[in-house]
Amino acid sequence: MHILVLGASGDIGGQIVKDLAEAGHTFSLHYHTNHERIADLVEVLPAEAVFEIIQSDLSTIQGIEHCIQHVQFNPEAIIFAQGQSNDSLFTEASTVEMDALLKVHVQATWHISQAFLPAMIKKQFGHLLVLSSVWGEVGASHEVVYSSVKGAQNSFVKALAKEVAPSGVLVNGIAPGFIDTQMNQQFSDEERQTLKSSIPLGRLGKAEDISHLVTFLLSEQSSYITGQVMHVTGGWMH
């Protein structure tokens, strides 16, 4: 299966690609600024696995269109692992920050799905998989805008799954809890310990915890699962 991965330079996106490569899939890889991480990722993949690499800024409409135009191989699956966070009081969030999050998480997901869905529908086969967040379900103080766009992603998954199910396209989401990635390195050791103690399984999540579920959801074993947003949280925030 050929897979378009948005945000492949992130910790989670990169781990997803590594795991899926072991299953023999091929890729179109998107990244925004971290060319070094993409280069390192390609180094550890089979030579024939990566068909193309696309650089674009999904926080602008122009960047979204640039990404779509530069995907030369129609994907049979799209994984939306792109994103950026915003940790601030809602009353202090700027219009620029709010617009960027809306474009990265919602409009990019809309437009990219819209561009490649027709080919999936014609083929009567395809997967869309959106990496959301537990905050999209329960909300988070100081992350109101982020929670809002993640909630929009969850609604997108549930609604689109119903629309395209008769065409053989499966649409699912994953809502991670606290995953120990570069994006979360701003937390102090004390804050991380407090978080860990609040998670019933007693540890922070790993990128592999997400990528293993992705691998399952893109396999034949999950062919009767669609319209679901699955929590990977260690029991946290349930």
**Residue range 188-212: mean pLDDT, rounded:** 87
Host H or E run for residue 42: helix 35-44
Taking 80 as the threshold, does the pLDDT of residue 122 lie above it?
A: yes
**Residue range 221-232: mean pLDDT, rounded:** 97
CATH topology of domain 2-232: Rossmann fold (3.40.50)
Pairing of strands 77-80, 50-55: unpaired
The mean pLDDT of the chain is 94
The answer to whether 31 is a known catalytic residue is no
Residue 222 corresponds to which tokens in the numbers above? 């999950």
Taking 70 as the threshold, does the pLDDT of residue 167 lie above it?
A: yes
What is the structure's pLDDT at 191?
Answer: 76
The CA-atom distances, in angstroms, between 138 and each of 28, 36, 214 are 33, 35, 22
What is the structure's pLDDT at 87?
Answer: 80
Taking 70 as the threshold, does the pLDDT of residue 183 lie above it?
A: no
Query: In angstroms, rounded to a whole number, what is the distance separating the alpha carbons of residues 75 and 5?
Result: 9
Q: Of these residues, 27, 135, 146, 156, which one is catalytic?
A: 146
Q: State how far Cα 126 lies from the chain centre.
A: 16
Taking 80 as the threshold, does the pLDDT of residue 182 lie above it?
A: no
Q: Is the dihedral of CA 116, 117, 122, 127 positive or negative?
A: positive
